[in-house]
Amino acid sequence: MNPERMNVESFNLDHRTVAAPYVRVADRKVLPQGDVITKYDVRFTQPNVAHLDMKAIHSLEHLFAESSRNHSASVIDFSPMGCQTGYYLILQGEPDVPGTANLIEATLTDVLKATEVPAANEIQCGWGANHSLADAQDAARTFLAQRGVWEQVTA
């Protein structure tokens, strides 16, 4: 199968050739005023083999989004992938993969120390009951344990 090139970068990625966990630059955009943003594919589980539970995804999204901003003013967004295998981390500028991996490591270390999921309530969240601190911490722990291979995208 050799599909035509698509507009969405991840649709052009052969998900059979990647080896999660990893951190890779997925896209880089220069905005009209010259600002640069970089999108990282932060893949927790092997595509089409495993996925994260929704409560883990949702809670890790809250924890990472809140804590990462304590480590970097460059964080624009941290969003889960619909396939439930990872997240997109969008940063201002062009930080390198090793620097971004350090930001991710520091943030996930904070996640392991957390005692609650921030904004996990019906006032601050659209599905406040759909959270699990323990599941988010398990996902973070598993990802951190494989820190040595994050920069290797393919087997």
pLDDT tens sequence across 77-88: 999 999 999 999
CATH code of 89's domain: 3.30.1360.80
In a domain? residue 81: yes
What is the structure's pLDDT at 12?
86
Neighbours of 46 (CB within 10 A): 15
What's the rounded Cα separation, in Å, for the pair 119 and 55? Answer: 14
- Secondary structure letter of residue 1 according to DSSP: -
The pTM of the full predicted model, rounded to 2 decimals, is: 0.94
Specify if 135 maps to a domain.
Answer: yes
**What domain count does the chain have?**
1
What stretches in the chain show pLDDT beneath 70?
Answer: 1-2
- Residue with structure tokens 């890790």? 60
Predicted local confidence at residue 2, as pLDDT: 60
At 4 the pLDDT is 87
Q: Is residue 4 part of a domain?
A: no
d(C-alpha 90, C-alpha 39), whole Å:
4
Whole-number pLDDT of residue 66: 98
- The DSSP letter of residue 126 is T
